[in-house]
Amino acid sequence: MDKNGMHDRLRWGLLLFLTPVFLWLVLLIVLPQIDLLIMSFRVESGYGDSSWSLYNYRQFFEEPIYWLTFVRTAVYSVLVTFLTFVVALPVAFYITKVVHPRFQGFLTVLLLLPFWVSELVRVYGWMILLRESGVINHFLLRMGLLQQPVEMLYQDATMIMGLVYTSMLFMVVPLISALESLDNSLIEAAYDLGANMGSILYKIIIPHATPGIVSGSIVVFMLTLGNYLTPNLMGGKNSLWFTEQIYNQFIASFNWNQGSAFGFLLLFLSSVIVWLGLKLTRQNLRKVVQ
């Protein structure tokens, strides 16, 4: 086979692989995002014509309910990400470093199992546990700890718990694989050199697990920020998660331009926070994705 033939063949391979991927990314990701951006800068006048305007973004800053919800969503998402990490770390540590290797596989499977089930089913489970007529109230009343049922749903703390629960998997898995690659002798060496539990955690375990922590945090943060089900079903009734505002603009008010602006703001927020997280921990996205 001559050099040219080989070359042609490889080009054909490239074209074969590139075409579907190109169509996917351009038609479903790039162009829709551009469309979203354009729409967010346009307003409809009463008769179906539209013009360029910053009105949608002005609206966002002038209407406190919008930007307050936005800030609230961002702050709570960061909080949820942090809580998820704190809750998941001891479990990942226990499974990778403490429990007898015989149970390691079993516990890992057990850990992943609930997350194969639809988020809706899991949220529904929490609802029938926590609501006024729910299972927990039933038992508390039975045991005489409560005189009358308490509404545990529709509160911020419950919503945060639900969000932590929902995104747990995406923190536990990268943590487990990060800790698995941590050589036990490093922990032993630190202990031998005079370190205690706390300094081993801060000096050895967390620095080693940083790539895992960052990738887990990014995914958890993203999913929390973009979550609709959990805040909607477990949180308060008045649309206090930003995705609910987007939904309202699109489905209830049918104001797509305003909705696009909100969507674009959410995208901007998530990109900025992910970027900040990567910069602060000196990681890069390619490494984190793998």
Partner 1 sequence: MIRTMPRSRGTALGLKLYVILYFIFLFAPLLVTCILAFNDSQFPSLPWKGFTVEWFTGDKPDRLGIFHDQINIDSIWVSIRVAFFVTLLSLGVGTCGAFLFEQEQFPGKQAFYFLMISPLVIPGVILGISILMFSTTLGVFFENHWGLDVALFRPGFWLVVLGQFSFIATLVTLVVSARLKKFDRSLEEAAMNLGASRFEVIWHITLRFLKPAIIGSGAVAFLMSFENFNTSLFLVGSEATLPINLYLQVRDGSTPVINAISFLLIVGTSMLALLNLYFSKKKD
Partner 2 sequence: MMQIDLSVQHVLKRFGDFTAVNDISFDVESGRFFSILGPSGCGKTTLLRMIAGLAELDSGRIEIRGKDMAGISPNRRPVNLIFQNLALFPMMDVGANIAFGLQRRGESKSGIREKVSAILDRVDLAGFESKRIDQLSGGQKQRVAIARCLVLEPAVLLLDEPLGALDLKLREQMKVELKKLQAKVGTTFVYITHDQSEALVMSDYVAVMNHGEFEQIDTPQNLYSRPQTPFVAQFVGDNNAWSGTIRNCEGTVGEIETDDGFHFRSELHQPLPVGAAVDLFLRPESMLIQPDPSLPDLNRFEVVVRSTLFDGANSRLLVHPVNAETELLVALPQTHQYDYIQKDDTIEIGWATPSGICFPK
Interatomic CA distance for residues 262 and 226, integer angstroms: 12
Residue 199 interacts with which of partner 2, partner 1, none, CB < 5 to 8 Å by class: partner 2
**Residue 141 interacts with partner 2 (CB under 8 A)?**
no
Instruction: Closer to partner 1 by CB, 82 or 191: give it.
Output: 191
Packed helices 64-93 and 256-281: angle between N→C axes, nearest 10 degrees: 40
Least Cβ distance, residue 183 to partner 1 (angstroms): 11
CB atoms within 10 A of CB 249: 21
Least Cβ distance, residue 137 to partner 2 (angstroms): 46
In the region spanning residues 204 to 223, those forming contacts with partner 2, defined by CB under 8 A, are 204, 207-208
Residue 20 interacts with which of partner 1, partner 2, none, CB < 5 to 8 Å by class: partner 1
Instruction: Closer to partner 2 by CB, 117 or 189: give it.
Output: 189
| 284 and 278 Cβ atoms separated by less than 8 Å | yes
Query: 123 by DSSP, 3-state: which?
Result: helix
Least Cβ distance, residue 63 to partner 1 (angstroms): 19
Polymer length in residues for the chain = 290
In the region spanning residues 176 to 205, those forming contacts with partner 2, defined by CB under 8 A, are 183, 185-186, 188-196, 199, 203-204
The b/e string for 207-238 (b: 16+ C-beta within 10 A; e otherwise) is ebbebbbbbbbbbbbbbbbbbebbbbbbbeee
Q: Which residues bind partner 2 (CB under 8 A)?
A: 183, 185-186, 188-196, 199, 203-204, 207-208
